[in-house]
């Protein structure tokens, strides 16, 4: 049997054995367009040969920026076919982030989705000297652009077809030359503490990750995936590109980020992969939908959701389910569980995954209670998006599951999770210092504080650098408290504080969609996020939510003081990463006055905020943020 040690070789295989099976779909102008594996192969071949005509060679880097579109995935595959390296960027990255990555990765050509992204790259022209060409997919708004550096995706393919006519075997010969140990992609880390680092991943790393995953959770060619997560996130690359090629499953691209949920309902994917923030949003939407129902539906919804979570918890703990619950649970399927799964687009789901950050156990219980086979996966960019994974019948909401076969874990003396396996990066691009720091005697230092429980499951506590103590010696893991707070449908983001303090406090972001819906029902007028967040009624709502959540926390970890921030934490303001991880060091400096006030005796704190209007104008405003005490029972 021929060995497929690179992703392009899987593409060639798929076109040979499944020429007429759907490989990728996209929704455009309200209609789903389907491309078979034969189509996929042809599109990639023509674009790859066109790239070669533009001077793209083995080892060169191709920047990719935009929403999930087949053309961008084809460009990614084309670069890999030529022995080059795609470098995906977050589509909402600001100029300085784009500039840093394009220069650091020495990007030669950029594949941009549309005018917005073309303008973003063009505006940096003087600051990105190595970029020679910009290729675009969507021509709208670009017809008047007159520059030799700008080419359409279609024009590059035309160049490729001309090459193929002259040298019909060239593409296949180039693909055959590829080796598994060659680099396949350079994704950049989210940069929670410093500038993003380029992670070098080989074809063998990625193929191993897919094969190890499929030993635990099989994926078939008839499976359907949704490509809606940022292409720069390694989770998207594994699920919608690597799995797509290795298993032959179908990838589906939504019409736009705004239509994702509707498009998911239309496709009915068999698997859904998302970071905790998306699952938290779905829980909030469901809770709002239930509360907005008439009296009977609201009572039924709340009762059966609670029942489902209780049954799911007992099953996961391998405890006997009470007889009454066992009898009532099936009644909830046609009344509540089935309709909710259908509403969320999960009617055909075989398994659902959450990864990218710690998820509150309540989120896992919520979906499993609805009958969704939801499991948690722990991974890093450096591990090709795979490390540990829950098994069917062995799901623990407090853990991220045991390591997959062939992936080793151990805990260092200071409590840090160390890992090794065939899917782990050989190091960081042009950064031998970071590589030397991260690897110790062949083990990758993850930076996560963890334990391994008696069942072999890995339990992530928090980031090693973030785990601290209260003054009384109580271990304080901020992420643990934050996840509890974010299970509230009204709280979108939370930053908990307590390092070397007497008690725990929190800075909150309200969920604007959910809280505005609540405010309308309460007939509370407001003029935007800043105004709504400081309403006394909203503070009272937050107060009640924190009291409810405190009851589930150990007494010493209960939140005693809080405030609602005047703005949402924003990646553009460097407060959180593009994957919505809190940048604690930056926040500690930026909001030092707020922290001081939370641990003082003042009832409020004055902050100065920079407001940016739609026309680009900015102005500074002062805002008084109320600080509220929460009664804590010992």
- Predicted confidence (pLDDT) per residue in 37-86, tens digit: 999 999 999 999 999 999 999 999 999 999 999 999 999 999 999 999 99
Q: Which of 152, 180, 202 is the last residue of a domain?
A: 202
> Do 193 and 100 fall into the same domain?
yes
In 454-503, which ranges are E strands? Answer: 458-463, 468-469, 475-476, 491-497
Domain co-membership, 384 together with 482: no
| pLDDT given at position 614 | 44
The residue length of the chain stands at: 634
Judgement on whether residues 399 and 504 belong to the same structural domain of the protein:
no
Spatial CA neighbour of 603 closest among 619, 627, 584, 578: 627
List the domain range (segments joined by +) for residue 443. 379-465
- Neighbour-count burial for 555-564, b at 16+ CB within 10 Å, e otherwise: ebbbbbbbbb
Are residues 65 and 196 located together in one domain of the fold? yes
My answer on whether 83 and 139 are in the same domain is: yes
218 in a structural domain: no
Q: Which of 214, 258, 242, 476 is nearest to 351 (CA)?
A: 214
Helices and strands, counts by H and E, the chain: 23, 29
How confident is the model at residue 144, as a pLDDT? Answer: 80
Q: Is the dihedral of CA 46, 50, 56, 58 positive or negative?
A: positive
Q: For 92-140, write each residue's pLDDT tens digit.
A: 988 888 999 999 999 999 999 999 999 999 999 999 999 999 999 999 9
| CATH number, position 516 | 3.30.300.30
How far CA 164 is from CA of 52, 161, 299, 583, in Å, comes to 11, 5, 65, 49
Q: Looking at the 3D structure of the chain, how many domains does it have?
A: 3
Q: For the residues of 271-323, what is the DSSP string, one character each? A: EEEE-HHHHHHHHHHHHHHHHTS-HHHHHHHHHHHHHHHHHHHHHHTTPPPPH
Do 260 and 278 touch, CB atoms closer than 8 A?
no
pLDDT per position as a tens digit, 13-30: 999 999 999 999 999 989
Q: Is there a domain that residue 399 lies in? A: yes
**3-state DSSP call for residue 239?**
helix
Domain shared by 472 and 461, yes or no: no
Same domain, 456 and 501: no
Residue 45 lies in a domain: yes
For 360: left if phi > 0, alpha if psi spans -120 to 50, otherwise beta; the answer is beta
CA distances in angstroms from 226 to 40, 239, 278, 576, listed in the order given = 17, 9, 14, 25
* pLDDT at residue 331, as a whole number: 97
27, 132: one domain:
yes
Dihedrals φ, ψ of 420, to 5°?
-150, 155
Report residues of the chain scoring pLDDT below 70: 1-2, 191-194, 610-618, 634
> Tokens 């998302």 correspond to what residue?
274
pTM of the predicted structure, to 2 decimals: 0.88
**Residues 162 and 133 both lie in one domain:** yes
Q: Which residue, chain included where needed, has tokens 């703990």?
A: 317
**Which of these three, 425, 449, 465, is where a domain ends?**
465
User: What is the per-residue pLDDT for 23?
Assistant: 98
Which residues is 134 bridged to in the sheet?
110, 150
Tokens of 312: 């799911």
- In this structure, what CATH number is given to the domain that contains residue 409? 2.30.38.10
Same domain, 27 and 85: yes
Domain membership of residue 39 (yes or no) is yes
Distance CA 312, CA 590 (A): 41
Tell me: do 428 and 477 sit in the same domain: no
């Amino acid at each position: 049997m021929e060995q497929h040690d690179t992703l392009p070789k899987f593409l060639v295989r798929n076109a040979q054995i499944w020429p007429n099976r759907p490989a990728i779909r996209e929704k455009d102008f309200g209609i789903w367009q389907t491309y078979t594996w034969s189509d996929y192969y042809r599109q990639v071949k023509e674009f790859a040969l066109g790239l070669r005509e533009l001077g793209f060679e083995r080892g060169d880097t191709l920047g990719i920026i935009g929403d999930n579109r087949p053309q961008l995935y084809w460009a990614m595959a084309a670069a890999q076919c030529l022995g080059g390296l795609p470098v995906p960027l977050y589509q909402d990255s600001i100029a300085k982030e784009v500039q840093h990555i394009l220069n650091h990765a020495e990007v030669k050509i950029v594949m941009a989705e549309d005018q917005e992204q073309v303008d973003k790259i063009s505006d940096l022209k003087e600051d990105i000297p190595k970029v020679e060409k910009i290729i675009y997919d969507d021509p709208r708004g670009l017809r008047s652009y007159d520059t030799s550096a700008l080419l359409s995706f279609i024009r590059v393919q035309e160049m490729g077809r001309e090459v193929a006519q002259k040298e019909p075997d060239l593409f296949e010969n180039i693909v055959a030359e590829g080796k598994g140990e060659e680099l396949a992609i350079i994704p950049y880390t989210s940069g929670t503490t410093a500038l993003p680092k380029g992670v070098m991943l080989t074809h063998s790393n990625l193929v191993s990750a897919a094969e190890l995953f499929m030993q635990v959770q099989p994926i078939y060619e008839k499976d359907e995936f949704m490509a809606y997560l940022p292409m720069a996130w390694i989770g998207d690359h594994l699920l919608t590109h690597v799995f797509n090629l290795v298993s032959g499953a179908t990838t589906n691209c939504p019409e736009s980020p705004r239509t994702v949920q509707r498009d998911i309902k239309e496709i009915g994917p068999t698997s859904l992969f998302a970071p905790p923030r998306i699952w938290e949003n779905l829980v909030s939407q469901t809770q709002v939908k239930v509360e907005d129902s008439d009296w009977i539906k609201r009572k039924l919804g709340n009762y059966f959701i609670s029942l489902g979570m209780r049954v799911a918890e007992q099953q996961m703990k391998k405890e006997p389910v009470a007889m009454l619950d066992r009898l009532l649970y099936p009644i909830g399927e046609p009344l509540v569980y089935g309709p909710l799964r259908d509403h969320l687009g999960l009617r055909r789901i075989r398994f659902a995954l959450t990864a990218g950050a710690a998820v509150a156990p309540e989120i896992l219980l919520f979906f499993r209670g609805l009958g969704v086979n939801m499991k948690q996966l722990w991974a890093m960019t450096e591990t090709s998006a795979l490390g540990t994974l829950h098994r069917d019948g062995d799901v623990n909401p407090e853990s991220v599951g045991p390591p997959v076969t062939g992936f080793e874990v151990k805990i260092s003396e200071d409590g840090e999770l160390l890992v090794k396996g065939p899917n782990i990066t050989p190091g960081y691009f042009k950064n031998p210092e970071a590589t030397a720091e991260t690897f110790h005697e062949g083990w990758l230092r993850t930076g996560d504080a963890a334990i391994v429980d008696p069942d072999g499951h890995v339990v992530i506590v928090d980031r090693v650098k973030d785990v601290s103590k209260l003054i009384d010696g109580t271990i304080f893991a901020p992420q643990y408290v934050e996840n509890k707070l974010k299970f509230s449908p009204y709280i979108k983001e939370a930053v908990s504080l307590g390092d070397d303090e007497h008690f725990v406090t929190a800075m909150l972001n309200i969920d604007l969609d959910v809280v505005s819906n609540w405010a309308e029902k309460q007939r509370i007028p407001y003029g935007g996020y800043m105004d709504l967040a400081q309403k006394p009624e909203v503070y009272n709502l937050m107060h009640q939510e924190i009291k409810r959540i405190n009851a589930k926390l150990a007494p010493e970890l209960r939140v005693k003081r809080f405030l609602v921030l005047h703005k949402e934490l924003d990646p553009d303001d460097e407060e959180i990463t593009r994957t919505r991880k809190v940048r604690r060091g930056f926040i500690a400096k930026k909001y030092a006055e707020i922290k001081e006030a939370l641990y003082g005796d003042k009832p409020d704190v004055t902050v100065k905020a920079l407001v940016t209007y739609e026309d680009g104008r900015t102005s500074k405003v002062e805002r008084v943020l109320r600080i509220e005490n929460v009664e804590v029972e010992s």
